[in-house]
Structures are given as structure tokens and as C-alpha cells.
Chain A
Amino acid sequence: MTTPSRLRIAGGTVYDPANGVDGAVRDVCIEGERIVAELPAGVPRLDVRGMVVMPGGVDIHAHVAGSSVNHARRLLPEEHAADPAPAPQLADGPPARSGTGGTVPSTFATGYRYAGLGYTTAMEAAVAPLAARHAHAELDDTPIIDSGFYVLLGNDDYLLRQIAAGETARARDYAGWLLGVTRAYAIKIVNPGGVAVWKGGDGNGSRNVNGLDDAVGSSAVTPRKILETLAGAANALALPHPVHIHCNNLGQPGNFATTLESMRALAGQRAHFTHLQFHSYAGERGKGWRSAAKDVIEYVNGHAELSVDVGQVMFGSATTVTADGPVEHLLYTSSGRKWVNVDIELETGCGIVPYAYRERAAVAALQWAVGLELFLLAKDPWRVVLSTDHPNGGTFLSYPELIRLLMDRAYRDERLKAVNQKLLAGSTLLDGLAREYTLGEIAIVTRAGPARLLGLSRKGHLGPGADADVTVYAPDTDRAKMFAAPRYVIKGGTIVVEEGQLRRASAGARLAVRPDYDVAVTKDVKRFFDDYASVAFENYGAQ
């Protein structure tokens, strides 16, 4: 069928947790690009009796577009050669595009593959403001999904200067200006202060910060101050999504203490802590690692103002790509793999190391277990949502397998037996965590929850007025199979996946904020640009 402007998705079993619907048989009505409460009899119907209907998936944290991602693509010709992506045969509209996959697919393949998985929204999690124009161009070439990005601010030299001078209000206005001028969606912090120290070529021997109160250049600037300033700014600017935080000490044994301290530093304020799995380890460097998932998730459970995504590690190929330059340097020296580092002027860094997580490797097995513990011990799925930090912990194509691990205890226990047990002592997973996620809970952690955390009021639910982003799955006891190949995906009212085949590729929309701020700040920023920047103030951003 072509896409009708009115459509009744009839007779499916609907999971719409935002509207309290948990597996009820009912129709979902679409008119144009939105969900409506009712349609007259006789409109075109899509008969989905016996199938599972959910809102389109919403990815709260993935690396899919922009200069760092493109550096990663350029680094991986062998992966692209091994995973060709011929153009899908579409039913109508302009011809589709071919591309390549691997852990960091080309832009068109990224859009098609997300849609093929039932995802209709994805947020690019780390864009240097200097390269915002590049990120937008790539997102323009990423079909179907609605998208936006988080702009990197946690190591920004202008911002750090304001913090050093105690100019909190100016820091807030700067953040407001930067979000608007780059057309970003949220503020991202990566290893607050640590990247600045790495770039500065000084600091302690590790060329990084180790704790919340380490000095970053000036003693008035610390990771703690950066967190407080930007969390405060995001909340004062009334951004739909709070500050999005990648903590210090990613991937280090014992880092859970830093993670908890960071959470306590922002007590009472809204904040999102990303890829929590990578920040939930006990132990000491050189003396072994242990899971600290329980300590960390218990804190999250008790603090309703906090939200997290898990950043699950999945066995197989991955590419680590992050603004956290010092971490990637560490991974390069320990793994001996190829390594890209790009220091980005006045703003941030970028590091890339291709990687693989193996079941037989002790640390990878621990990371896998820690992620699952976080999921299984989480009390409130609305605040503990699904991610693999694509492509860092695994690609978005591994989400169905992750869903199976969450929903199917027997399968999980079987997989647990196959992994290296060396570092699993103390993991609650060994105690036999019995929990199995329900379909309703999966709908929360993959769409309703992320949409709510992002403040996307028209996403992640199927109530009247919502965007007509709908995914229909054929039930299968093998949940990985079920979620890997939805039967229908409707994006903004267009049927993009039909009978399991990608048939249409509409363009996605851009999600961006434009907060109010005191424009007086721009005079001072321009002065800073004139003194230090290598691009003109007038040419900056992506407007």
C-alpha cells in the first residue's frame, strides 16, 4: 500500500506505558503526521491482530554523526568492506542510497538500519561546537530518524575561564548562546576538566584529572565546579533535557566512588548520567576489578532527580569513540590497536580506538555483567534506560540481543556460564538475579523513558497529538528475533517498514533548542574569539 494520510492500526496488543496501556488490545489511529483519538469507520486499516504495538524507539545516547564519528569511519575501511549495505528497494519517493555498515555505518545506512530496528529517534551524544555544521550536514544525510545532538561543554576554555572568575551567570548565558548558535539539543559534559588537562600537556603524571576536586589549570576550577555550573545552567535555561554527564575516570577500577561523588555533588538537581556501566567498578588499578553496580544503582534508585542510561557492553566488535582523549590514549597503550586523537581548539578532544569485547576476557565479562546488574537492580525503568553507548559498548544493532538478555532469565543464565568468571566474584548476577523485564518495561526503557527524559512530549507514546511514530512487532519467544525485525514501522505517519522490509525513507526532523539568555555575553565571547579562536566569531556555529 502507499501511505494513506489516515490509518487505523487495528487490533494490536498495545504497549504505551506513558498512557498507562500495558498490553491492551486496541486500535491506534493516525491522521497525517500525528496520532489522533479516533477516526471514522472506513479509513484504511492495517490489521495487526496478534502483534505487539509500541511507540517508535528513542535512542537517548549514540554516536552517529559528526566529526568524531567521521574520523572513526575513515579509520575502519576493513569493516566497511566486510559489511556492504546496498540501497534498499523502496516503493516510492526518491531513490535510496547505498552505503556500508560495520560498527560505524555510513549515514544513509545508519538511518535505514535504525528504522529497520523500529527506532524513529536518535540523539548524537557528543558534538564539538566547532564542528556543529558538520554534524548537521551528516544528520541531514541520515534518513528517516528524527535526530539532534548534545554539544560538548565540560572542557571548554571560555567556560572554564568564567568558572575561574566566579562568573556563574555568564557561564549560563554562554551555554544558552552556544546551544542556540550550534542548534544543539542539550549540554554534554565529558570527563569534566580531564580533557582540558590532557590537552594542556601538564597536570599530574596521568595527564588527566583523578577526582572531583583536582585543579584544572586554576584551583578555582575543578570537575565539581564544572558539574555544578553546567547542571545549574541547564536547569536555569529550562532545557528539556538536563545536563548529560560522562563522569571522570571512565573505565577505571574503583571509579564508582567518583561516580557517586558526582551524583552527590548535584544532589537535588536534575542530571542525566550516561553509560553508567563504564562508571560502576570497584577495585584498584593493578589489584583487580569488581562490580560496584549495586552501590551505584541503589543511589540512583533513591534519587528521583537523577536519570541514567546503562551503556551495556555486548560481546563482539565495537569502536570506542569519545571526547575523552586521555581514556582513549590509555586504551591505545594497553591494547596496541590503532588510535586516533584529535585535540579540538578551545573546546574538547576526540579519541578513537577500534575494540572487541570477548566473552573469554575477564574485564569484558565484568563489564557485561555490570551493565546487566544495573538493569536488573533498577527500581524505576523510567530513569534507567537502554543504551550501549553505540558504538562504544556495541552497536545499536545489538539492542535486540540485549532485550533478550533482559527478558529471558534462562537465556541470560546460560550466557553467564559461558563468560570468564575471574572478576565476577561479588557480582549480584551470580546470586541469580531472577528479574525478567516485561514487554511493558522494555517499552519504557527503549522509548517512553528516553522520550520523557529528553522532554520530547510528542515522542515515546501513542496518545492523541503524539508524532505518529509506531513500531509493530510479530511476537516471538526469542525476543532477540522479535525486536530485530519489526513487521511495520511508521515514522511521522509514513509507513517506512512494511512486512519487515524497508519500503520508504522519509527525511527526519532536527531536534534543537533555542533557550533565552542575556545576549550581553556575546560581546565578551566575541572578544575571546578575536584573541584566541582560529575561526571568525561570525562564522562559528551552524545557523
Chain B
Amino acid sequence: MSAAARTVEHVTCLGCGCACDDITVVVQRGRVTEAQQACALGTAWFGDGQVPDAVRIRGRADTLERALAEAAQLLADAKGPLVYLAGDISCEVQRDAVAIADRLKGAIDSLAGTAAAGVLAAQRRGRAGATLGELRQRADLVVFWGVDPGARYPRYNTRYAVEPVGLAVPAGRQGRRVIAVDVGDARGPADADGRVAIPPDAELDALGAMRAMVQGRAVPPDGPFGTAIALVQEMTKARYVAVVADAEPGPSPSDPDRAEALIALSQALNGPTRCALSTLRGGGNRSGADAVLTWQTGFPFAVDFGRGYPTYRPHAGAAERLAAGEVDAALVIGAPATLPDSVAGRLAGVATIAIGPRASAAGWKPVVAVDTGVAGIHEGGTAFRMDDVPLPLRPAFDGADVRSAAATVRALRERLEGAA
């Protein structure tokens, strides 16, 4: 290990769905000492670049060869196998993982399922969207609907929607108006130029009234939705409106129909003006899992290969299957730490195989655990930003000493395919 600092530029961070690709990572004596430009969340995501390097069968150290054999056996014998795509793996790994589920005639789900409400709403209605960089070029009015990206998507405002200069917004922040819509406790950014408060139980009615207004139907401005009506009037006068909402579940539950109402409003605004809805999504390349499953199966999450072809079970994803006792073996690929509680909390009673960063530390005691590197830190490949823009991963470590998730999952796939 060299004492000299190694610097890698244009690194993509998967700490959240912003997938900032402007990070400069400095490695000294085998550790990440700096992640320049990264926010606190991103800095924590890079950490010091150290990952455990264990291979365990039932808690005991063993060889990779035997671990893969055991894993293949468990999966091949299972009646209800589940493959779960957790965070911090590349699209290349996800592609092999879907092949495994196909081979096993098993179920497959992913971290992308956390945003199910929004995905399902978009499947019913479509959506009016834009890539993040286009919001930067165009939006002169940004409406944060019950979300302040600051906490979970820290650089969203500085890199994309709010602050940077854009082709049609040469003055950057000065050229845009920012409105915070506070839905109960779910508040927009504190430094917004304007605020609108909407009680949670009136949210859907307010969105409905706003849409009606856009569609030219008369809504009394002095009725119960006066402030919302004033907001939508402002929206129709803007040149290009960005509506920003969180697609991930927040601390307080939001109305399950909000996603669809926001889509309907943003679609309707394309007429009197231009509008794009930007839905915030978490990190770890979950958007890649959504894209890969969609192109390989036709469905974005909660897919079941049980009939020998993909079927869509959006209301019987990993959490529901585990809860119903339908899973007797689970293959979790990716970082166990990224699993939603609804999945992690139900894995303890199931024979599991964990392959991914810090797999051996999984609280639910995998039968087989194989530690690997982290996509974007130890291994390359492709990841998707929250807006489906694909980005290359530039590992700061060349992976010399760190087991590759890509090679491990490929080896498991080949084992299962060879066992025809």
C-alpha cells in the first residue's frame, strides 16, 4: 500500500438519488481521507472506504467456493425463493441478479419498491417530468410540495433545481421564485420566497381544486382553498414550473393518493404553461434496479417469475411475501444496511444468502454471507440518478483486495445456470 495520496475525480456518489458526479475522492494509506464536494451524507456514504472481507456459512468463516455452493443449493431447493436488490450495487450486478430470479422461477423485488405509490400512480396516468438538469435550465418557479430536500437530498438545490444558472435562468437563484408548500409537519424549505400551508386532511381536495382551476373550471378564490388557488394562479403565469415532491416514505405518513394528484396537476399545467414533477428518490442505485427490472421483465419492482415468465405483484412485494410466510429462501444482493425495516425485520426467520457490502454484519444472521466492495467505491459499472440518467461509477479503489460483487454474483449465476 502506497503512502502517496491517490486522487480520483468525477466520482459519482450514491449517498442519495442526486448521484452527484463531481466528487473528488482522495485515498491515503488505503483509506478515503476526503470526498471533496460531497455533502455530509455523501461523506458518510464514502466513509473511509474500509469494508469487511468475510465469507461465512452459518456464522463460520469458510471459502467462497463452498459459500457459493451452499447458496446455490439453498436456492435451488427452495420452493419460494426471493431475490432482493438492496442498495450500493451497480446495474451490471442487478442484471445478473434478475437472471438468477428468472432461473429460479422466484420472486424479485428491490429497494425501488419503497417508492411504489408514485410508480403505480405513474403507471395509471403517466407523468410530466424532466431530467434534473432541465429543471436547472428552465424552471423559473419551483414549488416544494411538503418536502425540504435539505435533509435527505442535500445537494438537490445547489446542483439542480434552485441555485445554479440555467440557459433560460441566467441569474440562477435570483431568477427563480421558490414556494414552500407545508402539508402539516411536512414542511418545504425554510428559505422559500413564499409559503402555503395546507392541512394534511385537505391536501387532496386542494390539489383537486388547483387542477380544476387550471382546467378552466370556476373555483371560488375566497373558498376553503384560497391560498392553494392563489398558488396555482402563480404557477400558470410562470414560464416553466418545477413541482418537487418526495417519492420516498417520510417520517410522517403522507396521503397515499398524493402522488397521483400531483401527477394530474403537473400534467394539467402543461397547456397554460410548462410543468415538470420531480420526484425525489433515495440512493444506492435504486433507480437502476427499477430501470433494469423494467427492461428485462416489463415491470419495475415486485416481479414474480413463478409461472416461468414475469408477472407483476405490486401489492405482494418482498415485505408482503415475507410477512405471509411465502418465502423459504432469500438472496439479498447489496448492502443489508440499506434494507427497509419492512424487509429486514422479516428476514430472520428465513434461510438467507447475503452478498454485498458488509453482508457479514447483517443483523438477520444470513446462512451464507459474502462481503463485497461497494459499487462506486470499490467497483465500477453504471448507476442511475433519481431521474433515470445513467452515470458511470469510478471506484477510488481498484478493487485489488476487495471482493467484487459483480464477480461474485456472476459466479453464483453461472453455478445456478450450470445446474440445469
Closest CB of chain A to B412's CB: distance in Å?
14
Closest CB of chain A to B10's CB: distance in Å?
4
Measured in the bound complex, the distance between the Cα atoms of B296 and A138 in whole Å is 8
- Contact of A207 (CB < 8 Å), options: B12, B159, B274: B274
| Beta-carbon contact of B10 and A539 below 8 Å | yes
The chain B residue sitting closest to A541, CB to CB, is B392
Measured in the bound complex, the distance between the Cα atoms of B366 and A374 in whole Å is 64
| Beta-carbon contact of B296 and A99 below 8 Å | yes
Tell me whether A80 and B298 are in contact in the complex, defined as CB-CB below 8 angstroms, given that A131-B388, A157-B167, A207-B274 are known contacts. yes
Binary A-proximity of B297-338 (CB < 8 A = 1, otherwise 0):
111100001011111100000000000000000000000000
Tell me whether A130 and B389 are in contact in the complex, defined as CB-CB below 8 angstroms, given that A137-B91, A137-B382, A534-B159 are known contacts. yes
- Contact of A86 (CB < 8 Å), options: B95, B165, B274, B309: B309
Tell me whether A100 and B274 are in contact in the complex, defined as CB-CB below 8 angstroms, given that A67-B388, A340-B127, A341-B129 are known contacts. no
| Beta-carbon contact of B126 and A75 below 8 Å | yes
Residues of B within 8 A of A95 (CB): 103, 417, 420
Measured in the bound complex, the distance between the Cα atoms of B128 and A71 in whole Å is 12
Residues of A within 8 A of B420 (CB): 95
Closest CB of chain A to B121's CB: distance in Å?
11
The chain B residue sitting closest to A95, CB to CB, is B417
Residues of A within 8 A of B300 (CB): 74
Interface: A70 (CB within 8 A): yes
Interface: B78 (CB within 8 A): no
Size of interface on B: residues with Cβ below 8 Å to A: 67
Binds B, one of A25-33, A195-203, A233-241: A195-203
| Beta-carbon contact of A141 and B138 below 8 Å | no
Residues of A within 8 A of B267 (CB): 332, 339
Closest CB of chain B to A218's CB: distance in Å?
12
Interface: B192 (CB within 8 A): no
Residues of A within 8 A of B136 (CB): 345, 532, 534
Measured in the bound complex, the distance between the Cα atoms of B159 and A342 in whole Å is 19
Interface: A386 (CB within 8 A): no
Interface: B291 (CB within 8 A): yes
- Contact of B167 (CB < 8 Å), options: A71, A138, A353, A532: A532
Interface: A403 (CB within 8 A): no
Binary A-proximity of B261-298 (CB < 8 A = 1, otherwise 0):
00000010011011010000000000000110011111
| Beta-carbon contact of A534 and B298 below 8 Å | no
| Beta-carbon contact of A99 and B294 below 8 Å | no
- For chain B residues 118-166, which have a beta carbon within 8 Å of chain A? 119, 122-134, 136-138, 159-160, 165-166
Interface: A510 (CB within 8 A): no
- Contact of A329 (CB < 8 Å), options: B22, B270, B290: B270
Residues of B within 8 A of A71 (CB): 388
| Beta-carbon contact of B133 and A84 below 8 Å | no
The chain A residue sitting closest to B136, CB to CB, is A534
Closest CB of chain A to B70's CB: distance in Å?
22
- Contact of B390 (CB < 8 Å), options: A134, A338, A534: A134
Residues of B within 8 A of A70 (CB): 291, 294-295, 388
| Beta-carbon contact of B296 and A106 below 8 Å | yes
Closest CB of chain A to B234's CB: distance in Å?
15
Most buried by A among B126, B290, B295, B297: B295
| Beta-carbon contact of A107 and B295 below 8 Å | yes
Interface: B26 (CB within 8 A): no
Tell me whether A201 and B298 are in contact in the complex, defined as CB-CB below 8 angstroms, given that A70-B291, A84-B307, A133-B392 are known contacts. no
Tell me whether A534 and B391 are in contact in the complex, defined as CB-CB below 8 angstroms, given that A70-B291, A102-B298, A340-B129 are known contacts. no
| Beta-carbon contact of A80 and B312 below 8 Å | yes
Measured in the bound complex, the distance between the Cα atoms of B131 and A259 in whole Å is 31
- Contact of B21 (CB < 8 Å), options: A81, A333, A539: A539
The chain A residue sitting closest to B311, CB to CB, is A81
Residues of A within 8 A of B124 (CB): 338
| Beta-carbon contact of A131 and B390 below 8 Å | yes
Measured in the bound complex, the distance between the Cα atoms of B240 and A200 in whole Å is 8
Measured in the bound complex, the distance between the Cα atoms of B21 and A178 in whole Å is 20
Tell me whether A202 and B390 are in contact in the complex, defined as CB-CB below 8 angstroms, given that A157-B167, A341-B129, A343-B134 are known contacts. no
Most buried by B among A76, A79, A344: A344
- Contact of A84 (CB < 8 Å), options: B273, B290, B311: B311
- B: residues with CB less than 8 A from A are 9-10, 12, 21-22, 91, 95, 99, 102-103, 119, 122-134, 136-138, 159-160, 165-168, 239-240, 267, 270-271, 273-274, 276, 290-291, 294-300, 305, 307-312, 382, 384, 388-392, 394, 417, 420
- A: residues with CB less than 8 A from B are 65, 67, 69-71, 73-77, 79-81, 84-87, 94-95, 97-100, 102, 104-108, 130-131, 133-134, 137-138, 141, 157, 198-202, 207, 329, 332-333, 338-346, 352-353, 531-536, 538-539
